[in-house]
Amino acid sequence: MDDSPRILPSVVDVEEPDSPVELYRGPLRISMEGGDRNLEGSLSLHLVPRPMIRFEGDLPGPWPAGIVKHPVKLRADGFLPETQAWVASASYGGEGPHPIWGYLGAPAFRGDPDSAIDEVRFALTNFPGYKGSKIYDPESRIRSYQRLVFVVGGFEVTVDGEPGRAEAERQVLRSNGHLFSHRGRIRKIDGSAFLVEEGKALLECLAFWFAFSAGRWTGPVLSTGFRDGSLVWQDLDLPPLDRFLGGTAWLPRFTDLDFGGTVDRMWSLWNKSEWQRAMKHVIGWYRLAQTSGVVETPIVLGQTALELLSWMVLVEGGHISGEGFNRIKAEDRLRLLGGHLRLPTGEIPSAFKVLRSFGAGLNAKDVPTVLTLVRNAMVHPTPKHLTQLESYEAVLEASELAIAVLEQSVLAILGYAGVFTDRTREWRKDGVTGDAPVPWAAPS
């Protein structure tokens, strides 16, 4: 008998990637102009073609005019309170019943959002794998090293990778769809109860942390609150979710992952309104830079995010006045930020050979100068600037470098002191992996 910790319970019951998750089956009531209609139907979570909570069933009686593409009110007694929904498609003609389907069009929940709970369980989609501690799934009899535990503001957060995900990943690679990749749980360290609103506030912060860790939106999805093992609340409001091939992660691939106090530090900043607003923008831009598929996007959005971080660290941190900051050139803002955070923003890394040559030809020998030069050529185009952008390889390397500097800046601000995938290393040859200690934590 395996004495390893057991895998967390799952909030979804699905066997294949991209498959819907049935949440409810039974009576539904649709309220519309002309009265209410009762029908037998279901509510399901669908991830393709886009994430939605979908309802479907057979509408009895004569067909109601004007129902398609108009808002209605949907209710499932004992499961879903009255919620706005949209009818997307239905079968016309005759006396019925008429097959009908649609989706929820407003934030929704089941249960009591004002209740006290002692645990929240959730799912993540398309979150990358990592090397964690050992867990055992008695159902599949699979052992894996996919448990991650970290502490945030008096809460313990546990994340377990789904068993047997390798085959599921091969399937989702072909569809570029969605995979329920991880199970999560939030509990108070002391085991005490907490309000649903407290859990939702932490889940929002975690959603941005997971997005930053993965380079794409991953959830949490179907966050479900329990009290003494009984379900009392479930969030049916779906967050943005990216497809499998969008974005790449900074998480180490071959080294034990340990967030340490990083997420706790983010939570402390998150509870300051200015920092929360800034982090939402920065991580949103970081994610968009990774998933847009346009090579120029990371350069423009990366510089924008870095200048915002520079303001937050230098001005909000009391190191320089706002007036003084506004007099500084863009490359100097990046240079000051890099110096304050102990980032390696001096020489352009040797892995970026084309960009180094490109920069040398324009007397741009350090990272802030070359990134600003390429960004300015894009946002202030002139015939001269456009000639500077003719090297696609240089622009591509500048794009990768901008993402690298941005993610290192965020990690340094949050005090991460572990190992990460360093995009600036020449790790694709000679058996060298991308795993490396963060430079600001290295011994001087």
> What ranges do the domains of the chain cover?
21-106, 116-256, 264-441
Model pLDDT, residue 360: 87
10 Å Cβ neighbour count for 293? 8
- Coil, strand or helix: which one is 381? coil
Closest among 182, 178, 165, 240 to 207, alpha carbons compared = 240
- The percent helix, strand, coil of the chain (3-state, each to 5) is 35, 30, 40
Model pLDDT, residue 248: 80
Distance CA 102, CA 403 (A): 39
Model pLDDT, residue 444: 54
On the 0-12 / 13-18 / 19+ scale of CB atoms within 10 A, 314 is: buried
Closest among 96, 75, 93, 94 to 85, alpha carbons compared = 75
Spacing of C-alpha 91 from chain mean position: 37
Q: How many residues does the chain have?
A: 444
Q: Whole-angstrom distance between the N-terminal and C-terminal Cα of the chain?
A: 48
Helices vs strands, H then E, count in the chain: 11, 18
Q: Taken in order 20, 22, 28, 29, is the CA torsion positive or negative?
A: negative
Which long-range CB contacts under 8 A does 419-423 form with residues at least 24 apart?
Answer: 419/252, 419/255, 419/257, 420/250, 420/251, 420/252, 421/249, 421/250, 421/251, 421/252, 421/253, 423/250
Q: For 190, how many CA atoms within 13 A lie in the half-sphere containing its CB? A: 5
Model pLDDT, residue 430: 46
Stated pTM of the model: 0.94
Task: List, as one string, the DSSP characters of 317-344.
Answer: TTSS-HHHHHTS-HHHHHHHHHHHHT--
Model pLDDT, residue 135: 96
Name the one residue in this structure whose structure tokens are 């030809």: 361
Model pLDDT, residue 443: 63
Model pLDDT, residue 262: 97
How many degrees, rounded to 5, is the angle at CA 159 between CA 154 and CA 160? 150
Q: Provide the residue-wise pLDDT of the chain in tens; the chain has 444 residues.
A: 578 899 999 999 887 888 999 999 999 999 887 678 899 999 999 998 899 999 999 888 776 665 656 789 999 999 999 999 998 876 666 676 888 899 999 999 999 999 999 999 999 999 999 999 999 999 989 999 999 999 999 999 999 999 988 788 888 888 888 999 999 999 999 999 999 999 999 999 999 999 999 999 999 999 999 999 999 999 999 999 998 876 688 999 889 999 999 999 999 999 999 999 999 999 999 999 998 888 999 999 999 999 999 999 999 999 999 999 999 999 999 999 999 999 998 899 988 999 998 888 888 889 999 999 999 888 887 787 677 777 888 899 999 999 999 999 999 999 999 999 998 887 555 455 688 999 998 665
- Coil, strand or helix: which one is 227? strand
Q: Are 401 and 393 in contact (CB under 8 A)?
A: no
